[in-house]
Amino acid sequence: MPFAIVDKVNAKVYVFDVNGKLQGAAPALLGLALGDEVAPGLIDIPISQIPPEERTTPAGRFIATMGRNSRGKDILWVDYNNAISMHPVMTSRPEQRRAQRLATPSPLDNRISYGCINVPVDFFKDVVSEVFSGTSGVVYVMPEERRFGSSS
């Protein structure tokens, strides 16, 4: 299966083909809050009401598939049950400077999303979509606060 590794500490995504060959790497925007878990009940509240401290990108191993969001845009579903996806960076709110954040060399300004993984538009189209189209894959989101395999 193809796979991707999301390095939350360094705000980077690495995508590999079915043979384990690196197809590309890019900076990523991640959940605003540090943390490795999705807050309980989060899926049941409107996105606009998610408190800043609960806007995390969950860590773990996820079976991912290409799909479409509610607006019909292509996305890679990472954690469908919790509405976490990887998708092209959203620029509909210019004051958030998402594209500019992706372009900076430091990962310190890459925390802004509600939990989704935003990547550059061309990287999503040319790498993520190409590698994951027509097949399921695995996305490994590396933890930032706990060790992999620990329960807390």
Cβ-proximal residues to 133 (8 Å cutoff; 6+ apart), any chain? 66
Strands 30-31 and 60-68: unpaired
Beta bridge partners, 140, equal: 5, 61
pLDDT value at residue 150: 52
Is 115 within 8 Å of 59 (Cβ atoms)? no
**pTM attached to this predicted model:** 0.91
Give the C-alpha separation, 14 to 137, whole Å: 13
Rg (CA), the chain: 14
Task: State residue 151's pLDDT score.
Answer: 52
- pLDDT given for residue 149 in this prediction: 55
Residue 47 has a pLDDT of: 81
> Average pLDDT by consecutive 10-residue portion of the chain (152 residues)?
97 97 97 89 82 92 95 94 92 86 92 94 97 97 74 50
Report how far residue 113's alpha carbon sits from residue 30's, in angstroms, rounded to the nearest whole number. Answer: 5
Angle at alpha carbon of residue 84, lines to 39 and 119, rounded to 5°: 130
**CB-based burial of residue 76 (10 Å sphere; 0-12 exposed, 13-18 middle, 19+ buried)?**
buried
